[in-house]
Amino acid sequence: MGDDDIWGAVPGGELPTRDPAEPLRRYFKQRGVHAQVVVGDGVLKLILASAQDARRLTEIVVLSMPPERKAAVRLREVFFAAGIGRRVDGSSITSDHGYVNIGDLDVQDALRLWRLIWGGAGPEEFDPYDMGWQRVEHLAERMEVAVSEACGGHVGVDPNAACNTCSGSRNDQITLGLATPEQANRLATRIEAAATPTGTAGPT
């Protein structure tokens, strides 16, 4: 299909003008996505015909992502499904120059992550409602071991205790650092396996 095929007529029979939506319509059609595409006033409006088309569009978007971005999206979805990261911001998991930046978890989420990837009830010495900076540091040390083991390689974990000034606005947090796409996918797989009724976790 040449350029002449994507020209539309201006109402009233005036000179033809390029339809900016046509290449996008053709792109979607070639990939099995049925959608109405309208471009105007700097706004793109996309109306999908069915839920199946929405799923297909999602697949196209994900497949076009670089590996670190795909791994970040997957880990974010797995965290959310497992109930991790909702109290801070699960969307803080981002891609960063070839790596996955996992980001902040509050102490309750960190302990839940511990239980899922390490097995058992979690470290009993940690009370998420009564931590203090020393316990937050100790938890970060323990989490670094557990997360690195689950990822199959070292992933840094730093304490982020709430200070006296900010303790009223946020909880104590643990900050998980950069992981390779492979490490992030391994962590996601471990969490998925442990979160299922028959899943098991723990060091291998």
158-191 pLDDT tens trace: 998 877 665 555 678 889 999 999 999 999 999 9
The answer, yes or no, to whether residue 139 has pLDDT greater than 60, is: yes
Q: What's the pTM value of the predicted model, to 2 decimals?
A: 0.68
The number of folded domains in the chain is 2
Q: Verify that 94 and 186 share a domain, yes or no.
A: yes
Q: Any residues with CB less than 8 A from the CB of 178 and at least 6 apart, and which? A: 96, 99, 100, 101, 102, 155, 156
Write out the residue range of the structural domain in which residue 99 sits: 67-195
129 pLDDT band, cuts 50/70/90, is low
Using the structure block, give the residue that is written with the tokens 């471990």: 190
User: Is 201 part of a structural domain of the chain?
Assistant: no
Query: Across the chain, how many H-helices and E-strands are there?
Result: 6, 8
The continuous run of DSSP H or E covering 48 comes out as: strand 43-48
The continuous run of DSSP H or E covering 144 comes out as: helix 133-151
Mean pLDDT value across the chain? 80
User: Is 73 part of a structural domain of the chain?
Assistant: yes
The answer, yes or no, to whether residue 154 has pLDDT greater than 90, is: yes
The confidence score (pLDDT) of residue 2 equals 43
- Ranking 5-9, 24-28, 52-56, 161-165 by mean pLDDT, the lowest is 5-9
Q: Verify that 53 and 73 share a domain, yes or no.
A: no
Q: Verify that 116 and 142 share a domain, yes or no.
A: yes
User: Is 204 part of a structural domain of the chain?
Assistant: no
- Between CA 37 and CA 44 the distance in angstroms is 7
Q: Verify that 49 and 146 share a domain, yes or no.
A: no
Q: Verify that 54 and 73 share a domain, yes or no.
A: no
